[in-house]
Amino acid sequence: MMAEFLHGREYFAVPYLDDVAIYSNSWEEQLNHLNDILTKIKDAGLTIKSIKCRFAQDRVKYLGHIVGHGIRTPNEVKAVLEFPVQTRKSQVRAFLGLAGYYNNYIPMFSSIVATLTETLKGKLTKGKINWTEECTKAFNKLKEKLSALTTIRT
């Protein structure tokens, strides 16, 4: 419902269940975005809990992201960076799911992980995989890209 509710506002509002993070490039823009969202909430007959609200924050941690200064960057990529080399399909799926949460930050994400995705093909849903040098390269490249994002942010 929140994604539908905020349709067309994705460039400044990030919904999750009943929460919304609003980020802007300037104070004036922030006030406009906030007014837009609050008006939409009021017009829909919805309410907010003031105790859950935080206004005029420089940056906030929100669902594994840091939102602020008009941008959104990944926050909790440590689990991806520390993920060990895979030997089973279930492990590859887990890694791709975890890394995929940050796919919006990595240009050509699907191309980078294509080799890893290939290891999941076949009739068997479980079992060992054929981990190749190409898999290692893709695995490390993805970790490198995520690591670079956290370095830029700090």
Same domain, 96 and 143: yes
Same domain, 91 and 135: yes
- Enumerate residue ranges in the chain where pLDDT < 50: 152-154
- What CATH number should be reported for the domain holding residue 68? 3.30.70.270
Same domain, 51 and 87: no
Phi, psi of 96 (to 5 degrees): -65, -35
What is the pTM (predicted TM-score) of this model? 0.55
Count of structural domains within the chain = 2
Is residue 41 helix, strand or coil? Answer: helix
How high does pLDDT run on average in the chain? Answer: 80
Range of the domain at 111: 78-150
Tell me, what's the pLDDT at 104? 77
Same domain, 70 and 88: no
